[in-house]
Structure 1
Amino acid sequence: MREQVVMVGDDRPLVGVFCEPKAGELADPRTAVILLNSGVIHRVGSCRLTVTLARAISERSGLSTFRFDFSGIGDSEPRRGTLTADLAAVEEVQEVMNYLSNWKQFDRFILYGLCSGAFAAYRTALEDPRVVATAQLDGYCYMTTKSYLIHYIRRLRSPARWLKFVLRKLGLLEQKRGADLSGIDERYFEVPDFASYPPKAEVAEGLEKLNQRNLQMLYVFMGNEHYRYPEQFSDCFSSVRFGDNLKVIHRPQASHILSEPHDRHTVVDAIVDWVRTTSRALPSA
Structure 2
Amino acid sequence: MHERAFRFGRASHLVGIAGIPAAIASETGVVLLNAGLVHRIGPFRLHVDLTRRLNALGYATLRFDLSTVGDSSSSGQSQTKQEQVCADVDDAMRLLAGEAGCTRFVLMGLCSGAQNAHIVACTDPKVAGAIFLDGYAYRTIGYRFRYYVPKIFDMARWRRMLSRGSQTATDKQKDPDPVFAVAPSPRDVVRADFVDMVARGMKIFLIYSGGISNYFNHRRQFRECFGPVMSDARVTTTFVRESDHTYILTGDRHRLVERIEQWLSRNFPVPAVGTSS
Q: How many Å separate the matches in 1 of 2:219 and 2:10?
A: 45
Distance 1:175 1:147, change over 3 A: closer
Q: How many Å separate the matches in 2 of 1:170 and 1:210?
A: 45
Hey, what does 1:211 align to over in structure 2? 198
Q: How many Å separate the matches in 2 of 1:147 and 1:63?
A: 37
Distance 1:88 1:168, change over 3 A: farther
Hey, what does 2:11 align to over in structure 1? 11
Return 79-88 or 40-49, whichever deviates more.
Answer: 79-88
Hey, what does 1:275 align to over in structure 2? 264
User: Is the 1:35–1:111 contact (alpha carbons within 8 Å) kept by the matching residues of 2?
Assistant: yes
Distance 1:32 1:173, change over 3 A: closer
Counterpart of 1:112 (choices 108, 115, 121) is 108
Return 223-232 or 105-114, whichever deviates more.
Answer: 223-232
Hey, what does 2:31 align to over in structure 1? 34
Q: How many Å separate the matches in 1 of 2:30 and 2:156?
A: 44
Shift of 1:19: 0.7
Counterpart of 1:200 (choices 187, 190, 197) is 187
Return 90-99 or 199-208, whichever deviates more.
Answer: 90-99
Unaligned 5+ residue runs, structure 2?
A: none
Shift of 1:79: 3.5
Return 103-112 or 79-88, whichever deviates more.
Answer: 79-88
Task: State the superposition RMSD in angstroms.
Answer: 2.8
1:138 partnered with 2:134: yes
Q: How many Å separate the matches in 1 of 2:12 and 2:189?
A: 34
What does 1:76-95 align with in structure 2 at a 5 Å threshold? 76-95=72-91
SS of 1:280's equivalent in the other structure is: coil
User: Is the 2:107–2:130 contact (alpha carbons within 8 Å) kept by the matching residues of 1?
Assistant: yes
One-letter amino acid of the counterpart of residue 33, structure 2: L
Distance 1:273 1:7, change over 3 A: same
Unaligned 5+ residue runs, structure 1?
A: 179-189
Hey, what does 1:150 align to over in structure 2? 146
Q: How many Å separate the matches in 1 of 2:174 and 2:84?
A: 30
Hey, what does 1:184 align to over in structure 2? none
Hey, what does 2:50 align to over in structure 1? 53
Shift of 1:99: 2.6
User: Is the 1:6–1:15 contact (alpha carbons within 8 Å) kept by the matching residues of 2?
Assistant: yes
Hey, what does 2:70 align to over in structure 1? 74
Shift of 1:216: 0.3
Shift of 1:231: 2.1
- Aligned-pair identity in percent equals 29
One-letter amino acid of the counterpart of residue 25, structure 2: A
Give CA-to-partner distance per residue, 1:89-139, whole Å, 9 cap, x none.
Answer: 122101211232234332100111101111111111111111000011011
One-letter amino acid of the counterpart of residue 192, structure 2: E
One-letter amino acid of the counterpart of residue 124, structure 1: V
Return 113-122 or 226-235, whichever deviates more.
Answer: 226-235
Distance 1:243 1:177, change over 3 A: closer
TM-score (norm: length of structure 1): 0.84
Distance 1:103 1:257, change over 3 A: same
Hey, what does 2:244 align to over in structure 1? 255
Q: How many residues align?
A: 268
Q: How many Å separate the matches in 2 of 1:246 and 1:260?
A: 27
Shift of 1:173: 5.6
User: Is the 1:211–1:242 contact (alpha carbons within 8 Å) kept by the matching residues of 2?
Assistant: no
Q: How many Å separate the matches in 1 of 2:84 and 2:58?
A: 30
Distance 1:2 1:169, change over 3 A: farther
Q: How many Å separate the matches in 2 of 1:104 and 1:281?
A: 14
TM-score (norm: length of structure 2): 0.86
Q: How many Å separate the matches in 2 of 1:170 and 1:229?
A: 26
User: Is the 1:221–1:251 contact (alpha carbons within 8 Å) kept by the matching residues of 2?
Assistant: yes
